[in-house]
Amino acid sequence: MAKQFKVVRVDRTSDLPVNEEAEELAKVNAEVVGAECTSEDEIIEVAKDADAILTVAAQITRRVTEALPKCRVIVRYGVGFDNIDVDAATDNGILVVNIPDFCLEEVSNHAITLLLALAKKLALLNNRLRQDCWAECKQILAPMGSVYGQTLGLIGCGNIGRLTAKKAQCFGLEVLGYDPYVSEYWH
C-alpha cells in the first residue's frame, strides 16, 4: 500500500536518525525520508511533494515555501525559528511549530562541560602537554582551582538556563540568573 503522507527531514547532516519519527508517523500511513540538503534547490527537489518538513538548521526561505504546494507543516527541532521564514510559510498556508525541549539535556551538559574545562584549565594544559612542557603544567596546576563555592552568572533563564543552573548547583556553585523576559531574578 502506498503511503498517504510524505514527511521529509532536511538538514546539512543526517546526524539525527528519523527512526522514532518514522515509527510514530507510520501509524498514520506516513513515509519519512531523510535527506542531506545544503541548498534551497536541494530542499525544494526532495520536498516538492512533501506534506511536512522536519528540520534543525536548514534554511527554509520564502523561495522554498513557495515551491512546496503540498506542505502544511514545518517542524523545527529546537527553541527558535531563526532558520525559517515564518511569515513566508504563513503566507503559503504552512504552519510552523517547534520542539522547545529538544536537546535541553545535551546543551546544558555541554555548558557544564565547558565550565569545568575552563575552571580546570583543560585546553591550556592539553596544549602545553602536547608541546612537552610538563614542568610548566605543574606550575599552571598549582594551586588546583575549584568551582565549589564560586558564583556562576547566567544570562538567559529559559529551559536551558534553569537546567544548567540546577546542574551547576550540584557542583556547589552559587547561581545568579538574569533574563529580560523573566520578571523575577533568581539565585
Question: Which residues make beta-bridge pairs with 176?
Answer: 153
CATH numbers and ranges of domains, the chain: 5-99 (3.40.50.720), 104-178 (3.40.50.720)
For the chain, give the percent of residues with pLDDT over 70: 94
Integer angstrom CA distances of residue 17 from 84, 91, 96, 105? 21, 30, 21, 18
Rounded Cα gap, residues 55 and 9, in angstroms:
6
Give the pLDDT confidence of 60-77 residue by residue, as tens digits: 999 999 999 999 999 999
DSSP assignments along 75-88, one per residue: EEEBS--TTB-HHH
Show the 3-state SS of 101-153: CCCHHHHHHHHHHHHHHHHCCHHHHHHHHHCCCHHHHHHHHCCCCCCCCCEEE
Give dist(CA 60, CA 78) in Å, integer: 15
**Is a pLDDT exceeding 80 seen at residue 37?**
yes
Share of the chain above pLDDT 90, in %: 56
Cβ partners under 8 Å of residue 102, min gap 6: 77, 78, 79
Element at 99 (helix H, strand E): strand 95-99
Predicted confidence (pLDDT) per residue in 80-126, tens digit: 899 999 999 999 999 999 998 888 999 999 999 999 999 988 888 88
Q: Does the structure show a pLDDT above 70 at 13?
A: no
Give the pTM.
0.75
In the prediction, which pLDDT does 19 show? 78
pLDDT tens readout for residues 114-159: 999 999 888 888 888 888 887 777 777 777 778 999 999 999 998 8
